[in-house]
Amino acid sequence: MRSLAAARGWGSGARLALALVTGVAGGCAPKAPLLEGNVAPVAIPATRLPPVHQKLVFLWNYADPDFRAKGDGAARVAPPDSVRIDLFVGGGYGGGSAVLVDDSLETRGDERIGKYLPPVPFLWAALGRFAVPPAPDTTARVDGDTLRVEIGREPAWRATFADRQLRRIELIAGGRIQQWVTRDDGGKVHYQHERAHRMLDLTVTRVDTVSAFDAAIWR
């Protein structure tokens, strides 16, 4: 599903990057280490969504200093740039949904859905797509089959690829890792906001390939 948002480029995404780091430098965030590996003139891997419609079923677990919730959910993914996420709170305590199209995220239902979910670049990273605001000063280092790249300065986005698959992204400001996502081959995703002490775990339990989705799910 190609959208007007996709045609806009990353104008709103660049503003988002600034908003993500406003007032978060320092605090309890860990210091960002130097990039490991040898400097290499390599291209960032293309991390496009699979060229088929998929439904991902998952379990989720959210926690912050004041609140905890868990349940199950589903993500309906339509290439090249669209996904609908439905979260159901365990015990029948409601739920809600979110529609992500390129760099635009709209939540529906339970107002806490927007709190459970990480910012847009981290949501895409959870699905294996590297989509951050463009910036100059890109550095790439290679260590065996591992590629580490850093894009921009204050804030900087850092990504780690293994065998050309996205495994981790970090948002760095003030020399510290403010937020990050990791993902593995087993369907486990972890998001962490260091200063806010917020975390979200996702565990994918099933992936179904479907012919198409009803257009109503995007409205």
pLDDT at 27: 56
Which residues span the domain enclosing 18?
Answer: 4-218
Whether 11 has a pLDDT exceeding 70, the answer reads no
- What is the rounded distance in angstroms from the CA atom of residue 13 to the CA atom of residue 6? 11
Q: pLDDT digit string (tens) for 117-141?
A: 999 999 999 999 999 988 888 999 9
Mean pLDDT value across residues 97-121 = 92
Whether 6 has a pLDDT exceeding 60, the answer reads no
User: Over the chain, what HEC string results?
Assistant: CCCHHHHHCCHHHHHHHHHHHCCCCCCCCCECCCCCCEECCCCCCCCCCCCCEEEEEEEEEEECCCCEEEEEEEEEEECCCEEEEEEEECCCCCEEEEEEECCEEEEEECCCHHHHCCCHHHHHHHCCCCCCCCCCCCEEEEECCEEEEEECCCCEEEEEEECCEEEEEEEEECCEEEEEEEECCCCEEEEEECCCCEEEEEEEEEEEEECCCCHHHHC
Q: pLDDT digit string (tens) for 31-68?
A: 999 999 999 888 899 999 999 999 999 999 999 999 99
Count of the separate structural domains present in the chain: 1
pLDDT at 13: 46
Whether 109 has a pLDDT exceeding 70, the answer reads yes
Whether 1 has a pLDDT exceeding 60, the answer reads no
Whether 24 has a pLDDT exceeding 80, the answer reads no
Per-residue confidence band for 75, with pLDDT thresholds at 50, 70 and 90: very high
pLDDT at 20: 52
Mean pLDDT (the chain) is 88
Q: What percent of the chain has pLDDT over 90?
A: 74
pLDDT at 110: 81
Q: What percent of the chain has pLDDT over 70?
A: 88
Whether 2 has a pLDDT exceeding 70, the answer reads no
Whether 99 has a pLDDT exceeding 90, the answer reads yes
Q: What is the CATH number of the domain that holds 102?
A: 2.50.20
